[in-house]
C-alpha cells in the first residue's frame, strides 16, 4: 500500500512540475548561436505592451530580463542572442492586461549529415592507415578524430546533445588520442 501511495504522489508531483512546459507553445527551431526574434501576442487584443519576464535555458538555469518588447499592433518582439546551449528554451511574457504565458523555442546544433560523413571518413581513414601500417596517415586521421570528439562534446551531434552523444564524443576523443599517441611513438621509434 505504501508503495502505491508513493508512486501516486510521484506521478502527481511530476504532472505539477511538467504542466507549464507541456502547455508552452513553440515559436520555432533555430540554429545554435543565432539571434532569435522572440515573439508574443496579446490574445484578447486589450493590451498596450508586453514584457519579457524571464528565459529558462536548457540546462535549467534562468535569466530574469523584465524587458519591454517592441510592439507592432498586438504583437511583441524581442531580439535574443544568447542561444549557445542546444535544447529547448522557455520564456515567460506578461501583457499589460495581466495575462502571463510561457512559450518556447528550440536551438539545434550542426547538420547531422556533416557529422555522419565526418565520423565515417575519419574512422575509415584510421582503419585504412592501420591496415597499410602508415603511421603518418594514422596521425592525420587521429588529429581529425580528436578535433571531432572535442567539437561534438561541446556541441552535440546534429540536433542532439545528451548522454549518448557525450559517450560518442568521449569514445571518439579517446580513440583519436590513443591511436594518435601510438602513431607518434611509431614515427619516433621507426627512424
Q: How far apart (Å, rounded) are the C-alpha atoms in residues 125 and 138?
A: 7
For residue 156 the three cell numbers come to 552535440
Phi-psi map region of 183: left, alpha, beta (phi>0 left; psi -120 to 50 alpha): alpha
pLDDT in tens, 60-89: 888 888 888 888 888 888 888 888 787 788
Position 43 scores a pLDDT of 67
Residue 187 confidence class, pLDDT cut points 50, 70, 90: confident
Q: Which residues of 31-61 are buried (b: 16+ CB within 10 A; e: fewer)?
A: ebeeebebbbbbeeeebeebbbeebbbeeee
Comparing 57 with 31, which gets the higher pLDDT? 57
For residue 84 the three cell numbers come to 549557445
Domain 2-108 has CATH 2.60.40.1930: yes
User: Which residue ranges make up each domain of the chain?
Assistant: 2-108, 112-190
Position 128 scores a pLDDT of 92
For residue 50 the three cell numbers come to 508586453
SS3 3: helix
Decide if pLDDT at 4 tops 60: no
Position 44 scores a pLDDT of 65
Position 16 scores a pLDDT of 38
Burial of 63: CB neighbours in 10 Å, binned 0-12, 13-18, 19+: exposed
Comparing 31 with 19, which gets the higher pLDDT? 31
For residue 165 the three cell numbers come to 552523444
CB–CB of 166/149 below 8 Å?
A: no
Q: State the average pLDDT over residues 19-35.
A: 66
Decide if pLDDT at 109 tops 80: no
Sheet holding 50-56, edge to edge: 25-31, 100-108, 87-95, 50-56, 62-68
Q: How far apart (Å, rounded) are the C-alpha atoms in residues 19 and 25?
A: 12
Position 121 scores a pLDDT of 92
pLDDT in tens, 148-165: 888 888 777 766 667 787
Q: State the average pLDDT over residues 173-187.
A: 88
DSSP assigned state of 57 = -
Decide if pLDDT at 45 tops 50: yes
Helix (H) or strand (E) holding 172: helix 163-190
Position 86 scores a pLDDT of 79
Whether the full predicted model's pTM is greater than 0.85, yes or no, is: no
Lowest mean pLDDT among 44-48, 71-75, 103-107, 187-191: 44-48
Amino acid at each position: 500500500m505504501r508503495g502505491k501511495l508513493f508512486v501516486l504522489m510521484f506521478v502527481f508531483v511530476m504532472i505539477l512540475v511538467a504542466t507549464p512546459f507541456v502547455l508552452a507553445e513553440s515559436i520555432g527551431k533555430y540554429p545554435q548561436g543565432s539571434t532569435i526574434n522572440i515573439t508574443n501576442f496579446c490574445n484578447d487584443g486589450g493590451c498596450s505592451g508586453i514584457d519579457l519576464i524571464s528565459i529558462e535555458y536548457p540546462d535549467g538555469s534562468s535569466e530574469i530580463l523584465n524587458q519591454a518588447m517592441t510592439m507592432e499592433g498586438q504583437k511583441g518582439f524581442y531580439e535574443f542572442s544568447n542561444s549557445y546551449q542546444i535544447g529547448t528554451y522557455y520564456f515567460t511574457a506578461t501583457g499589460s492586461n495581466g495575462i502571463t504565458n510561457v512559450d518556447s523555442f528550440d536551438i539545434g546544433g550542426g547538420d547531422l549529415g556533416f557529422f555522419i560523413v565526418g565520423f565515417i571518413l575519419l574512422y575509415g581513414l584510421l582503419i585504412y592507415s592501420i591496415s597499410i601500417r602508415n603511421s603518418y596517415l594514422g596521425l592525420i586521421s587521429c588529429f581529425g578524430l580528436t578535433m571531432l570528439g572535442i567539437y561534438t562534446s561541446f556541441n552535440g551531434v546534429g540536433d542532439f546533445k545528451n548522454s549518448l552523444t557525450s559517450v560518442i564524443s568521449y569514445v571518439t576523443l579517446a580513440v583519436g588520442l590513443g591511436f594518435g599517441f601510438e602513431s607518434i611513438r611509431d614515427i619516433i621509434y621507426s627512424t
